[in-house]
Amino acid sequence: MNGGPSGFHNASVTRAFVIACALFTIFFGIQGRPNKLGLSYQDIFKKLQLWKLIVSVFAFSSTPELMFGLYLLYYFRVFERQIGSNKYSVFIMFSIIVSLLFEILALSLFKEPTLNLLTSGPYGLIFSSFVPFYFDIPISTRYRVFGIRFTDKSFIYLAGLQLLLSSWKRSILPGICGILAGSLYRLNFFHIRKMKFPEFISSFFSRLSSPATGSSSTAAPSRNILGNAPSYAGRQVEGNYPSSMGAATIEPPEDAIATLVSMGFDRNSARQALVHARNDVNAATNILLEAQSH
């Protein structure tokens, strides 16, 4: 299972965030201070080192955390493709701010030595993303290994578990705070799911993270469940694929449409491709990929 088409196509905000995390981690790693970037009660309430609130969001405290964290951020780009870069920017902002508030509240309440320094990194965003991952990404494959049941979502959960336990209590608390933030977003707290940043925000991140590419696509994106994902519904499909023309149209099942949407295709295109492929998901995927390559 993957997050849709490879690369950061229609995921410019995710690309900018991943680059920022990598650069911050490398910069503070070279200075030999990665383990001192996490939040602590002393830093927030006594020393008032508020700069750590920003740094702790982007810089991971170790190389293994960086690897697992960037992999999960890269995978979760599927949500930017589903809701669009402008709404996804709101999701990032909400997840980071709310999870930080929960962390600060926990530090003020517990004051345990083991919680004196929380690990740094975008734990709030990553574990907030596990909420829509659990509810909205369908399972398309099930299999067994040594009698143990797995799905195509299992590896993502295992990567998240590894990241959650990477620094034990120092990393568990930020992870829990991220899950709480994601739950509030899903519950549409303060109608947050209707909010979105202006169009220039996603354009800014697109130019910032890929200045050399220029304006590679000027076509206006379709406005649907995928936000800025391009629509292929208007393209004719011919060749060896079965056509539904001349026969009664069989409405594609919702789980098949959801599977294609989770791969990064918009809903209307997914439905049309399934109609042409007579509800064969694999054939519909090939149709959409061929349309995308043209």
Structure token digits, residue 119: 């690990």
Domain carrying residue 117: 12-209
Pairing mode, if any, of strands 142-145 and 148-151? antiparallel
CA–CA dist 1, 72 (Å, integer): 13
CATH code at 278? 1.10.8.10
pLDDT at 15 over 60: yes
Residues 179 and 39 in one domain: yes
Q: What are phi and psi of 145, to 5 degrees?
A: -130, 115
Domain boundary among 209, 243, 268: 209
Give the number of domains in the chain: 2
pLDDT at 35 over 70: no
Check: CB of residue 58 under 8 Å from CB of residue 122.
yes
Residues 149-161 have pLDDT tens digits of: 999 899 999 999 9
More confident site: 122 or 201: 122
pLDDT at site 65? 94
**DSSP class of residue 139?**
P
CA–CA dist 201, 78 (Å, integer): 18
Give domain status of residue 220, yes or no. no
Residues 183 and 273 in one domain: no
pTM: 0.73
Give domain status of residue 148, yes or no. yes
Residues 157 and 277 in one domain: no
CATH code at 86? 1.20.1540
Q: Rounded mean pLDDT of the chain?
A: 80
CA–CA dist 6, 14 (Å, integer): 13
* Mean pLDDT calculated for residue range 3-9: 74
Give domain status of residue 262, yes or no. yes
Instruction: Tokens 């947050």: give the residue.
Output: 192
3-state SS class at 144: strand
Give domain status of residue 221, yes or no. no
* Mean pLDDT calculated for residue range 13-20: 95
Residue 264 backbone zone (phi > 0: left; psi -120 to 50: alpha; other: beta)? left
79 pLDDT band, cuts 50/70/90, is very high
